[in-house]
């Protein structure tokens, strides 16, 4: 069982199902409205926990009903939330998600308490990081906090996984130097490297850019096509499992969280871990919502 610590976001998701995406200035009818637990960090933590990792979380919520609810839900997943800060005078983060009949989504993210914690709070959770196999972070929380977490991990020989989402074109060198694995989708890979990623050839070019930045393992997710990896002179597109998508929310988070639960710290089973995670993501896209859609280990097997 891997020990996985996530440094990241916790959100209450408000979901709206529509026939098609709205155009600027247009008003359309919604088909269904519901709320669910979300946030890229929390989604990845739930995926790791349901794949039976020993999962811990470092982050923040507001001192409000949404924050209390989100913490209760994480506790139900047996996730250690002892280092999740409750921030006064801040609202718990929220995401507003629109899903069309093709399963595509558009997301607006309000950070709230997710941006109200930093390096000091991460340092308070250093024991969790130092006793982990993997530490995962995204870009929905302050980069300074992520850098501190990855620096603590590097000193303790703990492997780091960066999900650079939402994509940013100018990531600090201090962060990249302490990143072992980077997992962008094709759009995020283009934002960071400037290379239009559309196939294996262009994915290889982008991977070379990431390697030049000091990152050992590159995994670029391609949605319905699968995931491309480049590591130690080997590269390959591992195909996705073909399923009809009803909601792609949390598919990428499921991939990363699940992968962290089975990947060996020497990366010797990288392709097998990607295949396993592709399977998990194929189950997620067949269900609505973020965390409610994430599968358990017995379902993946």
pLDDT of the residue at 290: 79
CA dist 1 → 50, 134, 274 (Å): 12, 12, 17
Q: Which residues participate in the annotated binding site for ATP?
A: 185, 221-226, 252-253, 278
Cβ(37)–Cβ(293) below 8 Å: no
Q: Say whether the peptide bond before residue 166 is cis (omega within 30 degrees of 0).
A: yes
Q: Which residues participate in the annotated binding site?
A: 11-13, 39-43, 140, 185, 221-226, 247, 249, 252-253, 278, 284, 287, 289, 293
pLDDT of the residue at 4: 98
112: left (phi over 0), alpha (psi -120 to 50) or beta: left
pLDDT of the residue at 51: 97
pLDDT of the residue at 246: 81
Burial of 76 (0-12, 13-18, 19+ CB in 10 A): exposed
Secondary structure string (H, E, C) spanning 175-189: HHCCCCEECCEHHHH
Query: How is residue 206 written in tokens?
Result: 């982008």
100 DSSP assignment: -
How would you list the strands of the sheet with 181-182, edge to edge?
Answer: 80-87, 54-62, 3-7, 134-137, 159-162, 181-182, 217-221, 226-231, 234-239
Q: Which residues participate in the annotated binding site for K(+)?
A: 247, 249, 284, 287, 289, 293
Strands 11-17 and 32-38: antiparallel
pLDDT of the residue at 301: 87
Burial of 230 (0-12, 13-18, 19+ CB in 10 A): buried
Query: How is residue 271 written in tokens?
Result: 């392709």
Q: Which of 158, 208, 202 is nearest to 180 (CA)?
A: 158
Cβ(75)–Cβ(81) below 8 Å: yes
208 DSSP assignment: H
Known catalytic residues are: 253
Query: What's domain 3-22+31-300's architecture?
Result: 3-Layer(aba) Sandwich (3.40)
38 DSSP assignment: E
User: pLDDT per position in the chain (301 positions), as tens?
Assistant: 899 999 999 999 888 989 999 899 999 999 999 888 889 999 999 999 999 999 999 999 999 999 999 999 999 999 999 999 999 999 999 988 898 988 788 888 899 999 999 999 999 999 999 999 999 999 999 999 999 999 999 999 999 999 999 888 889 999 999 999 999 999 999 999 999 999 999 999 999 999 999 999 999 998 888 999 999 999 999 998 988 888 777 899 999 999 999 999 999 999 999 999 999 999 998 988 778 899 999 999 8
């Amino acid at each position: 069982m891997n020990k996985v610590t996530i440094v990241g976001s916790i959100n209450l998701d408000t979901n709206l199902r529509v026939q098609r995406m709205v155009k600027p200035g247009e008003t359309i009818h919604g088909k269904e409205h519901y709320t669910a637990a979300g946030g890229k960090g929390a989604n990845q933590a739930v995926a790791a926990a349901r794949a039976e990792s020993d999962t811990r979380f470092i982050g923040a919520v507001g001192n409000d009903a949404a924050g209390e609810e989100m913490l209760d839900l994480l506790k139900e997943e047996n996730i250690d939330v002892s280092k999740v800060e409750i921030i006064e005078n801040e609202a718990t983060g929220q995401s507003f998600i629109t899903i069309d009949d093709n399963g595509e989504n558009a997301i607006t993210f309000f950070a709230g308490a997710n941006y109200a914690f930093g390096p000091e709070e991460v340092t308070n959770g250093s024991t969790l990081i130092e006793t982990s196999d993997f530490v995962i972070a995204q870009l929905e929380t302050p980069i300074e906090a992520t850098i501190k977490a990855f620096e603590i991990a590097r000193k303790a020989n703990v492997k780091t996984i960066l999900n650079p989402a939402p994509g940013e074109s100018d990531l600090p060198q201090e962060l990249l130097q302490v990143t072992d694995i980077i997992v962008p989708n094709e759009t995020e890979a283009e934002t960071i490297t400037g290379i239009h990623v559309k196939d294996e050839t262009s994915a290889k070019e982008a991977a070379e850019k990431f390697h030049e930045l000091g990152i050992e393992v590159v995994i670029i997710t391609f949605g319905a096509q699968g995931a491309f990896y480049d590591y130690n002179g080997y590269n390959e597109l591992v195909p996705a499992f073909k399923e009809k998508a009803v909601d792609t929310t949390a598919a990428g988070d499921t991939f990363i969280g699940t992968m962290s639960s089975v990947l060996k710290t020497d990366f010797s089973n990288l392709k097998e871990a990607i295949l396993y995670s592709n399977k998990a993501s194929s189950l997620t896209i067949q269900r609505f919502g973020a965390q409610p859609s994430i599968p358990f280990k017995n379902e993946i097997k």
